[in-house]
Structure 1
Amino acid sequence: MLRIAIVDDHQIVRAGFRELISDELGFAIAFEASSGEEALEALSGQACDVLLLDLSLPGKSGIDVLRTVRQRYPQTRVLVLSGFPEERYALSMIRNGASGYLCKDCEPAELLAAVHTVHRGGRYLSPRTAQLLADEMLGSAAGSPHESLSEREMQVFVRLAKGASVSAIAEALSLSVKTVSTYRSRLLEKLEVSSNAELAAYAVRNGLIME
């Protein structure tokens, strides 16, 4: 039996995925969670094979959950299911350990195929993500500056863009204030902005956070 966990803060989305998975022979729901904290707590007592993970979660973000799962539960495959199009996050999430990335409006058959693929140890790339990866490899992609950020840089970036202070970010990510300040300086340089307000504007403009 293939055990699947669903992590999404919208009940109606979880219900839709639950119905789809329950109808599939050989699939079982390991657990559901509406936040990153709930997901990690559930994982500590309930193993799962594939984690369906939203990026926009209250508290710990999907990026945080991906990082923790990769470190603590390497046997669990993470399939990111996001409302953001592939251009925004797909390559970054794949680079940082996700086994696949799909938009939530994908066809049910594509989702099931993705689950089977990542459970077998493969990476699932949608046609659009595959094209983005090919363009990058061939050097033909224009590429936005944020696409080159590391996982940790992205974590700090999203928090700064949402208005969190350097000290709050340091506490949340178990880093020193000096380290977070260094990440902030690096982000300003890489994204070619000069303030937190411009970081936030960049994030909104590129669909990385909601207004």
Structure 2
Amino acid sequence: MIQIAIVDDHAIVRTGLRQFLGEQVDLRVVGEAANGREALELVRQTPVDVLLMDLSMPGQGGVEALQAIKARFPDLPVLILSGFPASRYAPTLMAQGASGYLNKECDPQEIVDAIRVVALGRRYLSAEVAELMAERALGGGTRLPHEALSERETLVFLRLAQGETVGAIAEALHLSVKTVSTYRSRVLTKLGLEGNSDLTYYAVRNGLID
């Protein structure tokens, strides 16, 4: 029996997934969470074989949650189920430890197949994600400036681009204001930009935020 935890900020999505997965004889949903912090607490308290997690959530979202969870539970398979296109986040998240990346518009049976694959300690690569990762490995395509950012720089960049203040980011990421300001300066330099409004424009233009 594969024990699964579902992490999504929409209760109706969690309910639908719980019902569908519960119809599979080898799958059992053992917990739910609405954001990254709840997910981390859940896996601390409950034995979980696979974490099925959304990306866009209030508070601590999936990108930060993946980092925190893999730091504490490196062997726990985390399967990302997102409404964002794979081209936007999949290669980066797979490089950061995600075991698979699925779009919410995929066939429900693919979610089941992916859970069974990652529960065995393997990675699940859809055809689209496999192609994206192959292109990255071969150096194909044009590499955008933001792809050179570190993981922490990326987190700070995306929060700034969405209008968060340095102080709010420092509190959310448990960093000092000075440290966040340093990351901000690095991001602006690496992207060749001058201010937060430029970061927002860059992120929207490149499909990193809506």
- TM-score above 0.5, yes or no: yes
Q: Is the 8 A contact 1:3 1:27 kept in 2?
A: yes
- Identify unmatched segments of 5+ residues in structure 2: none
Q: Determine whether 1:65 maps to 2:65.
A: yes
Return the alpha-carbon distance in structure 2 between the equivalents of residues 189 and 203 of structure 1.
15
- Which stretch has the larger CA shift, 201-210 or 90-99? 201-210
Q: 1:22 to 1:54 in 2, by over 3 A?
A: same
In the TM superposition, what whole-angstrom CA distance separates every residue of 1:142-170 from its partner, at most 9, and x where no partner exists?
A: 23333333221221112111211112212
- Using the TM superposition, give the Cα deviation of residue 74 of structure 1 relative to its aligned residue in structure 2, in angstroms: 2.1
CA distance in 1, matches of 2:90, 2:65: 16
- Corresponding letter in the other structure for 2:3: R
One-letter amino acid of the structure 2 residue matched with residue 123 of structure 1? R
1:77 aligns with 2:77: yes
| 1:96 corresponding residue in structure 2 | 96
1:40 — aligned with what? 40
Between the aligned partners of 1:41 and 1:194, the Cα distance in structure 2 is 39
1:122 counterpart letter in structure 2? R
Alignment TM-score, normalising by the size of structure 2: 0.93
Q: After TM superposition, which residue ranges in structure 1, 4 or more long, deviate above 6 angstroms?
A: none
The whole-number CA distance in structure 2 between the counterparts of 1:96 and 1:126 is 17
* Distance change in 2, residues 1:198/1:56 (3 Å): same
User: Structure 1 stretches of 5 or more lacking a match?
Assistant: none
CA distance in 2, matches of 1:124, 1:190: 32
What aligned pairs does 1:1-211 form with structure 2 within 5 A after superposition?
Answer: 1-210=1-210
Q: What is the TM-score with the length of structure 1 in the denominator?
A: 0.93
Inter-partner Cα distance in structure 2 for 1:176 and 1:88: 29
Which residue identity is paired with 2:75?
Q
Paired residue total: 210
Instruction: Give the CA deviation at 1:12.
Output: 2.1
Verify the 8 A CA contact 1:100 1:114 in the aligned structure 2: yes
C-alpha separation in 2, matches of 1:145 and 1:22 = 43
Q: Deviations over 1:22-41 (max 9, x none)?
A: 11111101111112222222
**CA distance in structure 2 between the partners assigned to 1:11 and 1:158 by the alignment:** 25
Mean Cα deviation higher: 18-27 or 145-154:
145-154
